[in-house]
Amino acid sequence: MAQLDFFDYISGITIGSIGAELATELEVPHKPLIALAIYGLASVVLNLLTHKFPRTRKYINGTPTILMNEGKLYRKNFKKAKLDLSEFMLLCREQGYFDLDEIQTAVFEHNGKLSVLPKATHRPATPKDLK
């Protein structure tokens, strides 16, 4: 589930919700069935569009956002990514970077993960180093 992008995650939840409505609707079951067919078809069409036309992918899935480069934090991009500094530091620590001076560039990917390009002199901390 962690490998799903945001669009697929939301589509799965919505189709599941419509399916639950279909399972519990006893009097007029054709309405949830029509909704399930339409939403499922729209989801498949959008998925095919993103694979066939890569330019549409940035509108549906989003684009990576540079949060830090050359030691400078981009506050505007933090707001765009809906992150604050403490969340950013948490993501850095999860990658093994406990000091921002060790990071050359940090990019927040569209799937919610942080990609870090370290400065040439740093290697990420391992659990063995923390003992």
The SS3 call for residue 100 is helix
Average pLDDT of the residues in 84-103: 92
Tens digits of residue pLDDT in 36-71: 899 989 988 988 888 898 888 888 777 899 999 998
pLDDT at 1 over 70: no
Tens digits of residue pLDDT in 66-85: 999 998 999 999 999 999 99
Phi-psi region of 82 (alpha: psi -120 to 50; beta: other; left: phi over 0): left
Beta-carbon contacts of 108 under 8 Å, excluding residues fewer than 6 positions away, are: 64, 65, 66, 67, 77, 81, 83, 91, 114, 115
Specify the amino acid at residue 47. N
User: H or E segment at 62?
Assistant: none
Beta-carbon contacts of 26 under 8 Å, excluding residues fewer than 6 positions away, are: none
Tell which wins on pLDDT, 1 or 89: 89
**What does pTM read for this prediction?**
0.63
